[in-house]
Structure 1
């Protein structure tokens, strides 16, 4: 009574074996992609791609072009040696929840109708210490420069209260971070400002990962009935993240464990 494979007994339109062998041979010897192999052997590029997938050929990005040997992709990670050496700052845009719930409560169609009513967006201003991963977050109605400056003043005060003296700040190239008011605020606080290279969000990866965790474990963790309920949960979740949640990037310990003498660490 074992289920029989759904694969047909005959595939008359399948690429002939001799063509498949030629495709594999060219791939191994010349290390070409589907388009170049197709230009030489004349089958469609999609056919070449299907053959390469069928025989589980390694991607060109996984090969040493000179030798053809399979190499491991190198994941570059960095971590500054002490708290405050670098603080990652970013803004995450998040849709507000209308009273009565959004699409997670009412379904997609009703959720879209509520979105058209103009409930607007919230902007999560986030700061994450590179060494400890200690985080500070505020919700604002915009991402203007004056708002970002006010947020950073309070974030810096929070880190100071934790014994962390911020020396450098890393942001993306958003307009608020390129403004004169932002530059002057950091200069007056004797903080060095660094910006990521354009189209390289992974440079600011720690706060980007925090953004994702924030959405998964707080913003979309349960079907909230209204925006005020979700916002009321943020302080408690942020305390949990900083003091109790195990962080795989720092050996399974909470961020507070990397900040000496941090009050409230075990509450």
Structure 2
């Protein structure tokens, strides 16, 4: 592929060489093709020395950089970035370097953005992606407070307290107990295709029933699940959950304790779930919020751009999406 500002492509350079070899003056051919005579001579010279390979662009990167920052100083810059999470403007004065130099060093070592670093360790996050849909599915549960009938974000806290009193008869020290909903989610590692349900608890039988429906959802999209990755929640640690997966020919894997980063496909999905569904607008009841989940999932899977997929929705990576093939 040619440089974006090059006047000639590789094919055009080949035509240039052919015309010169046919006996045409280099100056005439250069004028016809809109390039200078030195440039035309350069491509002819490279073709004679290297053949077809000489017609391709070369890197403009210098062979040596004698003024590059010393390795020991670069190591110190990286250490300050990892250990103290400092930026170029603060690292520069400490080491006596311009902030622009520090920025280039951090970029060269993959430390340019704090979002790319694991907060506890300061090490660059190693991102991975499975090769095909169904090879690994991430499963997790998000706990979310229920909404009293009428809500309180719409009508204010005073009327909201009355709504809370009227919604439930359960009390804890005279305080009405609204309770929680549990959003069970499953996200395919390769395609990011997601399936979620709002359920009343996070017990093992509920988790098993959810996975049965999630597995049917993936199967309907032509995805055969091979492995399931979960955290170490009590419902996932139960033998019944593992046995239910094994009976379907699925391997159950659990993340290392206190390392939610390992479950790194469903955790960001949970944040998106909160921002674009649960807290996207004020809801007047828990039922209204639950009903809005289906529209969010359809938008997420079929229309919402995903940065990790090159701006395409998850359905674009599904091997046999419904209606795609006849």
Same fold (TM over 0.5): yes
Quote the residue 1:18 is aligned against: none
Q: Which residue, out of 291, 294, 302, partners 1:232? A: 291
- SS across alignment from 1:194: strand
Quote the residue 1:158 is aligned against: 217
Q: Which residue, out of 240, 253, 257, partners 1:181? A: 240
Superposition deviation, residue 57 in structure 1: 2.8
Superposition deviation, residue 191 in structure 1: 0.5
- SS across alignment from 1:193: strand
Superposition deviation, residue 246 in structure 1: 0.7
Matched, 1:222 2:262: no
Mapped partners of 2:317, 2:237: distance in 1? 31
Superposition deviation, residue 261 in structure 1: 3.0
Mapped partners of 1:206, 1:112: distance in 2? 37
1:121-144 deviation per Cα after TM superposition (whole angstroms, max 9, x unaligned): 000000000000000111110000
Cα distance change on mapping 1:76 and 1:112 into 2, 3 Å? farther
Superposition deviation, residue 117 in structure 1: 1.6
Say which is worse superposed, 213-222 or 68-77, in terms of deviation: 68-77
Matched, 1:191 2:240: no
Quote the residue 1:105 is aligned against: 154
Structure 2 stretches lacking a partner, 5+ long = 1-73, 95-101, 112-123, 166-174
Mapped partners of 1:227, 1:237: distance in 2? 16
Structure 1 stretches lacking a partner, 5+ long = 1-27, 34-48, 61-67
Q: Which residue, out of 129, 132, 136, partners 2:191? A: 132
Q: Which residue, out of 166, 174, 179, partners 1:120? A: 179
* Greater length-normalized contact order (CA 8 Å, ≥ 6 residues apart): 1
Bigger radius of gyration, 1 or 2?
Answer: 2
Summarize the alignment of residues 1-267 of structure 1 with structure 2, pairs less than 5 Å apart. Answer: 56-57=90-91, 71-73=109-111, 74-102=124-152, 104-107=153-156, 114=164, 116-263=175-322
Superposition deviation, residue 175 in structure 1: 0.6
1:138-172 deviation per Cα after TM superposition (whole angstroms, max 9, x unaligned): 11100000000000011001101100000000000
Say which is worse superposed, 68-77 or 79-88, in terms of deviation: 68-77
RMSD value over aligned CA atoms? 3.1
Superposition deviation, residue 105 in structure 1: 2.4
Asked if structure 1 preserves the Cα contact closer than 8 Å seen for 2:130 and 2:189, the reply is yes
- SS across alignment from 1:212: helix
TM-score normalised by the chain length of structure 2: 0.59
Cα distance change on mapping 1:111 and 1:204 into 2, 3 Å? farther
Cα distance change on mapping 1:209 and 1:108 into 2, 3 Å? farther
